[in-house]
Structure 1
């Protein structure tokens, strides 16, 4: 009964009384829906489509919901009956067809050879494959003497970071840092999701040009509202308005060419539809002492525009990060920090080498976790990589879903207290290729495997062991690295700077247009706020092909100004945001690199729930 109530409450619905709870359980049993969370998600769609204003679920609504589902299923069955001659072929059917065709062609070849004096011989007859488990397939067997088994410096430290004590938000920032969405993912550990991603039944490929424009407008308007309400800066000016005195305008950085990398001669700023009718003007940054821009970045510019066609910038605010979560917030308390130190292991796929699909690196990680005994193992996809040579060549003799199940079955060897958080990737060939991405479906897995797994969306913000972890499997660091325009008279940490863009933009993927293969769905992103950071996490996990690292990144506004210029950004923003705070940004690297092993990250957490150390280790 409690599971039924929690499932509906997670979707923002409240069952009116015990009669409703029993009826919901009965509907689930009648229709064969074993997962109560799936039933609650389907009911939420039904509830919204009916136009109900109240979130209280009554027996009348449940009866109507039951009739609706039964009607849907009967329509599906009637369509199948009308289809008549259609037949769904299984692998054994196709094998039989293959044998039949080969025999037919062999007979034709023999007859033709007899007519022409014959030197042709009957072709070989294909042998029907017997059904087999994924673990028995040749491609999932580790090769003797593999390159991975001969790896050097296994288990040694690649890099480490001792975390300084972080200051928490003051009273003014605490309200903004408090998460507006919180959903229990695991009752045993108290793990919660703080980001409302798309559900398992989310529909994608419905993106439109209007949805893409709306997402851009939403990002710009959020910055305008922040500057006006929190800092008292008038930021509603048009980008093309003539201004002989410095004004502040907000917009998106663009390049004047659809192709090619942005440079200082090609920078445009695009205003919102509300304030600038979506117009673009040139942005002159020659007077600034430093610069860090990329296409899609939403910024506030202080400058003049004498002609209405070009803004001369005296200062650029490139972002205001969200505050860290308050120490006393409810989700942090539910992290169950307890009275002992805790550990969290973070790793990113691929989890198998290019030589085979035997999951040797993942098995080695599980062996390491058996020694370290972490409370959580956070794994970012891909798990069944579409770019794996064997998968690309079509040489996989089992279902992709079976390969993923094989991966999950290996979690049985983890310590009893360790839970696994799975974040999917658009490169997962067995999963929906859309970003933001729904969590994995685990309905068909054995119960002991499902108990070990916590499925999160991509991107995800999860509170576990008293620490808030934000993660995305997209290689945003590599994409930003190839698109960023940076100029500075002093040296800076490139990796920390790239990671800081995600925090400053409050967005897991701020680059626009997105890199090929991103699969960004603007409609999903704007509907669910699924790519916006609800707050600055304690740990931001950004897996990348770039060099692994762990950096302490300041959660402070970033301003680039002209030398000697004292403008509105310099005077108003530092006064309102004087608290020092930082986020630990981590690139754990890839667990498998080509034919050999890669790296992963080990996080040490104090009994009070504070991050103490981040260590990048070789597998």
Structure 2
């Protein structure tokens, strides 16, 4: 074909400057825009005359502008095609009744979907990849059937060969193994049999979802910040005192040759990054007047510190200016133990283990962005819903951002629709069609993100506020939030606390220590501090408002499942909680980072989980999309 292209250019009197490179690009244009060599040269002549180019030599630098003209011509042709009315025939009726239509091999398969409004038409024209082929996107239609929405372009996301690949499996005895392809969605099971299969609706209870929608934010004062930090130190001081394991805590600033136990918050002596020479311990205002003392870590065999961490520390302060640490307790006593004598604690553990439980739940978890960076078609979200429609989980947890403020098109401000319109059409309407197809058995939980362009930029963050017909199946929660499904407690935050802790943490870990697993250690910090965001000062990307719902960041008890979506590597781990827990089963929490559903112009990952009574028996699979 490149020979024909060259012949057509020479026939029109044009010569090629960099022949091989120009023919490569022209061949791509012919394939992407379905052009013959003569049509391509005709378009070039129009472009040559409009731009008034000098000479009859085709330069490589002029092809970028030529590509823009081809895209504009192709867009206008699409608009004309979409504006034509469709006359329904008997074939359309048969297609709706039988969900299958036989086509000729040369005719592409196309299913009816809900009408496309003006916004979606502009989406097809403006946000597709410039160089692409014809492709199919799985999408639920308003008729209640999963239809195939035909796009006039195929994005790099749509060109991938393997749709779903298992990256990691935990306690998974099924045929999904690490590094192998997941079974094709088009299994042999009949759709009608799958639809009538009985499915039990899961219960859903909200424990903490603050602040309320419409609240005022970013009005915090220095006094509010001081009180929030003081309350954290005071609460830990009370818990250590009630545990009676380390004696009564005293001030670390008092000079003493004897070994003492103190409670305080880790901080840095300057605005730089924390290190072993700059680490300080700040006590509470009530017990030490808020004074700080330098820490000497030479005698500690291992430690893991970050700014804002509240710890119990044992050691000596001979001079009153430097506290020589010999032991660190970075996990607070469990809430059930507070105020109980030591003799009753083992009995409480045994009672918790012997209590009968029916905690069984299937859940799919995904975190945004839900669209690739080269368009706003939300193809990964459509693929996720198609996957969930076949797996039929009881709960679908979607964590923001939904309309990502970091998306290139949104950052450049080139879109001509509001963020709320994108959220309503591309997210809510897809979910509504998905729920109509799935029926009343499934429930959906939506958690916002501070990166959502259509929501308040504050943390903690209120829930989405919207009106939709299936609102009884969709539950909007705040960021962070705590909820229960089938008596299984979930803790969730969309703020990337794992990444922020990773950049601020300093540690000394022996080579034979089990805590060398960095991901588990970072997740343990969140659980041990009983806070969704224990880091202070916060990251510059987090608009932390400590006056807004002060208890919203607290984790009152260890959840069964802790969802911490992050830009770090996806994982699913059983994390031990506490320093000295006698019963191992009572100290486990399943921490999951599902990853991002979309990464760049390609797909990311999500998590599928089957909770079977406790974290030890829970099956988790991280799947790349």
TM-score (norm 1): 0.67
Q: Distance in 2 between matches of 1:586 and 1:195?
A: 20
Which 5+ residue runs of structure 2 have no aligned equivalent? 1-115, 129-150, 174-199, 337-347
CA drift of 1:612 comes to 2.0
1:552 and 2:552 correspond:
no
Partner of 1:465: 486
Contact residue 376 and residue 418 of structure 1 kept, 8 A: yes
Partner of 1:433: 457
Contact residue 599 and residue 618 of structure 1 kept, 8 A: yes
Q: Provide the secondary structure at the position in 2 that maps to 1:258.
A: coil
Q: Distance in 1 between matches of 2:525 and 2:410?
A: 34
- 608-617 or 408-417: which moved more? 608-617
Partner of 2:120: 135
Partner of 2:278: 266
Task: Indicate how the Cα distance of structure 1 residues 132 and 393 shifts in structure 2: closer, same or farther if over 3 A, else same.
Answer: farther
Q: Distance in 2 between matches of 1:191 and 1:202?
A: 25
Q: Provide the secondary structure at the position in 1 that maps to 2:521.
A: helix
Partner of 1:590: 596
Q: Distance in 1 between matches of 2:461 and 2:598?
A: 23
Contact residue 322 and residue 506 of structure 1 kept, 8 A: no
Partner of 1:410: 430
Partner of 1:162: 171
CA drift of 1:201 comes to 2.7
1:617 and 2:602 correspond:
no
Partner of 1:214: 227
Matches within 5 A, 1:324-335: none
Q: Provide the secondary structure at the position in 2 that maps to 1:342.
A: strand
Looking at CA atoms only, which structure, 1 or 2, has the larger radius of gyration?
2
Q: Distance in 2 between matches of 1:402 and 1:140?
A: 15
CA drift of 1:258 comes to 0.7
Which 5+ residue runs of structure 1 have no aligned equivalent? 1-130, 165-186, 558-572
Q: Provide the secondary structure at the position in 2 that maps to 1:212.
A: helix
Tell me the alpha carbon deviations over residues 366-420 of structure 1, each in whole angstroms, 9 at most, x when there is no partner.
0000111011111110000111000000012111111111211101224222211
Q: Distance in 1 between matches of 2:303 and 2:478?
A: 34
Partner of 2:296: 284
Partner of 1:388: 407
Q: 1:537 aligns with which of 544, 559, 571?
A: 559
Partner of 2:544: 520
- 488-497 or 235-244: which moved more? 235-244
Task: Indicate how the Cα distance of structure 1 residues 134 and 246 shifts in structure 2: closer, same or farther if over 3 A, else same.
Answer: farther
Contact residue 539 and residue 584 of structure 1 kept, 8 A: yes
Q: Provide the secondary structure at the position in 2 that maps to 1:515.
A: coil
Q: Distance in 1 between matches of 2:255 and 2:557?
A: 36
Q: 1:481 aligns with which of 502, 505, 510?
A: 502
Q: 1:345 aligns with which of 335, 358, 364?
A: 364
Q: Provide the secondary structure at the position in 1 that maps to 2:548.
A: helix
Task: Indicate how the Cα distance of structure 1 residues 418 and 233 shifts in structure 2: closer, same or farther if over 3 A, else same.
Answer: same
Partner of 1:223: 236
Partner of 1:401: 420
TM-score (norm 2): 0.66
Q: Distance in 2 between matches of 1:610 and 1:420?
A: 25
Task: Indicate how the Cα distance of structure 1 residues 617 and 322 shifts in structure 2: closer, same or farther if over 3 A, else same.
Answer: farther
Task: Indicate how the Cα distance of structure 1 residues 579 and 323 shifts in structure 2: closer, same or farther if over 3 A, else same.
Answer: farther
Tell me the alpha carbon deviations over residues 239-263 of structure 1, each in whole angstroms, 9 at most, x when there is no partner.
311121111111110111212x211
Task: Indicate how the Cα distance of structure 1 residues 524 and 327 shifts in structure 2: closer, same or farther if over 3 A, else same.
Answer: farther
Contact residue 465 and residue 609 of structure 1 kept, 8 A: no
Contact residue 574 and residue 615 of structure 2 kept, 8 A: no
Matches within 5 A, 1:95-174: 133-138=118-123, 139=126, 144-162=153-171
Q: 1:295 aligns with which of 289, 307, 321?
A: 307
Task: Indicate how the Cα distance of structure 1 residues 533 and 152 shifts in structure 2: closer, same or farther if over 3 A, else same.
Answer: farther
Partner of 1:569: none
Contact residue 322 and residue 534 of structure 1 kept, 8 A: no
Partner of 1:171: none
Q: Distance in 2 between matches of 1:279 and 1:506?
A: 24
Partner of 1:254: 267
Q: Distance in 2 between matches of 1:197 and 1:247?
A: 39
Q: Distance in 2 between matches of 1:319 and 1:595?
A: 41
Q: 2:316 aligns with which of 274, 293, 304?
A: 304
Task: Indicate how the Cα distance of structure 1 residues 395 and 336 shifts in structure 2: closer, same or farther if over 3 A, else same.
Answer: farther
Q: Distance in 2 between matches of 1:258 and 1:435?
A: 22
Q: 2:215 aligns with which of 184, 202, 205?
A: 202
Q: 2:258 aligns with which of 245, 250, 266?
A: 245
Task: Indicate how the Cα distance of structure 1 residues 608 and 239 shifts in structure 2: closer, same or farther if over 3 A, else same.
Answer: closer
CA drift of 1:200 comes to 0.8
Matches within 5 A, 1:359-398: 359-398=378-417
Q: Distance in 2 between matches of 1:499 and 1:354?
A: 29
Task: Please identify runs of 4+ aligned residues in structure 1 that moved more than 4 A.
Answer: 139-143, 321-329, 577-580, 607-611
Q: Distance in 2 between matches of 1:501 and 1:163?
A: 27
Q: Distance in 2 between matches of 1:389 and 1:583?
A: 37
Partner of 1:319: 331
Partner of 2:196: none
Contact residue 198 and residue 438 of structure 1 kept, 8 A: yes
Task: Indicate how the Cα distance of structure 1 residues 299 and 610 shifts in structure 2: closer, same or farther if over 3 A, else same.
Answer: closer
Q: Distance in 2 between matches of 1:546 and 1:608?
A: 26
Partner of 1:115: none
Q: Provide the secondary structure at the position in 1 that maps to 2:163.
A: coil
Partner of 1:504: 528
Tell me the alpha carbon deviations over residues 172-225 of structure 1, each in whole angstroms, 9 at most, x when there is no partner.
xxxxxxxxxxxxxxx974301122411113221111111111111111111111
Q: Distance in 2 between matches of 1:579 and 1:230?
A: 21
Q: Distance in 1 between matches of 2:615 and 2:308?
A: 35
CA drift of 1:579 comes to 6.6
Contact residue 503 and residue 536 of structure 1 kept, 8 A: yes
